[in-house]
A and B are shown apart, each in its own frame.
Chain A
Amino acid sequence: KAGVTQTPRYLIKTRGQQVTLSCSPISGHRSVSWYQQTPGQGLQFLFEYFSETQRNKGNFPGRFSGRQFSNSRSEMNVSTLELGDSALYLCASSPSQGQYGYTFGSGTRLTVV
């Protein structure tokens, strides 16, 4: 079956702009989590969505937001982009809320200039 699909794969934005990233989970998976990966900070948890509701949130400023649709697809949005937001943004899906069965997508590489 198809894996986790993230679009776009690469993105270049200018400081101050906003960006929306998309994640389509594995068919049947209802939980979607987002992570930011940078060389300095590693993999950091952004948030988790299940049944269209945010269930958990990491320590990121309010500029980072997300949502989940009724078909379990998820989007995350970053407003007022800063240079430090340059990172690989990873989405992971799992069958249900909880820890098992996390499958990651290949990520969206965001570069802020």
Chain B
Amino acid sequence: GENVEQHPSTLSVQEGDSAVIKCTYSDSASNYFPWYKQELGKGPQLIIDIRSNVGEKKDQRIAVTLNKTAKHFSLHITETQPEDSAVYFCAVWGNKLTFGGGTRVLVKP
């Protein structure tokens, strides 16, 4: 089955700096790559997604890049703010959503 690896597991950044989270996957047939943000006591919330026919997508301070040849994709958060502190999950769609292990992001004011 699909295997998704996510790095790093924890990330501490200073407010205003950028944060980058990387994921690799195993199934070359996968075609949809969402990112979720999970805050304490809540379920994961979709923040951005990308499909296999697109290399990059941006939405305000967040962006995702996809390299299908290398089977990896990344989340970039610029100008980080304290409210960006949360756990972030990448996911890959084959015939179901398979999630990475998560990255706990802490933005220090």
Contact = CB atoms under 8 A, between A and B. Distances in A.
18 contacts: A42-B100, A42-B101, A43-B44, A43-B99, A43-B102, A45-B96, A45-B97, A45-B98, A48-B96, A92-B43, A99-B32, A100-B32, A102-B46, A102-B97, A103-B46, A104-B36, A104-B43, A104-B44
Chain A interface category by residue count: 10 to 19
> Chain A contact residues: over half helix, strand or loop, or mixed?
strand
A101 to B, nearest CB: 8
B88 interface: no
> Chain B contact residues: over half helix, strand or loop, or mixed?
strand
Interface of B: 32, 34, 36, 41-46, 49, 89, 93, 95-102
A102 B34 contact: yes
B45 A104 contact: yes
A66 to B, nearest CB: 14
A35 B93 CA distance: 14
Given A42-B102, A43-B89, A90 B96 contact: no
B43 A90 contact: yes
Contacts of B36: 104
Given A103-B46, A104-B44, 7 more contacts: A42-B100, A43-B89, A43-B102, A56-B96, A58-B96, A99-B32, A99-B93
Nearest to B36: A104
A92 B97 CA distance: 11
A98 B93 CA distance: 9
